[in-house]
Chains A and B, each alone.
Chain A
Amino acid sequence: MRSSYKESTASNAFVWNPSAEERTKKVLFIVDSCSMDFRDANEEDSLATSVESIRVEEVLNYFRDIKAIIEEPSKVRRYLYRHPEIAELSRFVAEQVSRHFDSSVQLCLCISDDDEPDSEYLALFLRVPNYDDSVMDRIRKIRESYYDLLNDMTGWFLLTTDFSSPR
């Protein structure tokens, strides 16, 4: 079998040890359509040891699958490992974008800063083929849906556009 990285939305293959089928209830399932853990009610706290890195990697996989551009992935990873809640927020916002824009939209995830110490934040740039007045209105509407959530978070996140065409 050959495995290669290609931008694709193809589903992941899942191969599991059949003899351990009964045990799969004890496994932490990641639900593809939302950034949440899936746990059995009776074993809520007894499944996998909680780590932040996998939480972030699942979000990065999501952006890969929707063909988003991740600029300087090492930098983005580093930031998200420090602020895993921002990772999940960015996914939530990307899902909002897909509701408010058609499939021609392109997303680009990157770290921006204001040239001041500790001013780094995660930016999600949205690019569309044609910019009309409604684009900024829709961006503002999506921002309103998440701004309050940022109050409880240690990092910062911004959905914006650089008015470029999708690459």
Chain B
Amino acid sequence: MVKYNNSPIIEAACEFLFAGETEWDSAIPGLIYSEAKEFFPNREQRSRNVIINSSQQKAPSLEGAEIKRKEYTIFLNQDKTMFIKVSERSLSINQSSPYSTWDEFKKYIEYIFNITNKVIKFDSFQRIGLRYVNLINIREKEIDPKSYFELYPSVGERLPQETVSFITGCIFPFSNERDACRVQLVTRAPLDENTMSYTLDIDYSLVKPRSVLADQTLNWIENAHNEVEKIFEGCITDALREVFGEVK
């Protein structure tokens, strides 16, 4: 496992989505809070707007779309660097910067998973996800993405060779397409005019609903983390490793 002095991780999240038939009621967030408040004592209510596309079009379109306001509850730890997010049939644990280690984060995932097991009756999941968002700042005014990344857009010779921003990504299948990992590299608002900023977003998830049983979940998560780590290392070059400063 490679460790970096300047870790680019700005958020890591492990999310469980329960199958539609899982019994759920409004008391569940409160039950989770009463079990987890020792480490997550700060309670907040948040919301966000989501556009639901009910049309059959493949491309995003506002036609036939409806807007839903989704409420969710979060329980934050003392220093507000980690929180549990609970909404209907969904629970996640999010760690923001500074990210310590996988072993440390895993400890909290297991802790929350055990509480979930106690409070909710379920056999399997609709989806499990492990996602890492990295914010990468490179102190250069202009760069060739190839120098720092192994995943970058391919721009044909007949196209303009200068870009001001890009989004590039792909989905890799794993375990006979039971799992998938979505990887996206996107240019971001920089820290200053002498810096280029990117997010490298790696989201490994179970895409075949109900194919991992509850008692296999923690093994699935450990495996997901191994794959995420390999993908992260596969996305960057030695020049970027140097920017992060490998701990030897």
Contacts and interface: CB of A to CB of B under 8 A. Distances in A.
Interface of A: 1-6, 8, 10, 12-17, 20-21, 23-27, 29, 31, 34-41, 44-46, 48-55, 57, 60-61, 63-64, 70, 73-74, 81-82, 84-85, 88, 152, 154
Contacts of B46: 84-85, 154
A19 B94 CA distance: 32
Given A25-B58, A38-B53, 20 more contacts: A2-B143, A3-B164, A3-B166, A12-B167, A13-B155, A15-B154, A15-B169, A23-B171, A31-B62, A41-B53, A45-B127, A49-B13, A49-B14, A50-B13, A52-B11, A52-B94, A54-B199, A57-B188, A61-B188, A61-B189
B47 interface: yes
A44 B126 CA distance: 12
**Interface SS majority for chain B:** strand
27 contacts: A1-B154, A2-B144, A3-B166, A4-B196, A5-B190, A13-B155, A13-B167, A15-B154, A16-B170, A20-B170, A27-B169, A36-B50, A37-B48, A37-B51, A39-B53, A44-B50, A44-B52, A49-B129, A50-B13, A50-B92, A51-B94, A52-B11, A54-B199, A57-B188, A61-B188, A64-B188, A84-B48
A153 B90 CA distance: 21
Q: Interface residue tally of chain B, by bracket?
A: 35 or more
Nearest to B144: A2
Contacts of A70: 189
A39 B17 CA distance: 15
Given A3-B145, A53-B135, A152 B47 contact: yes
A15 B154 CA distance: 8
Contacts of A85: 46-48
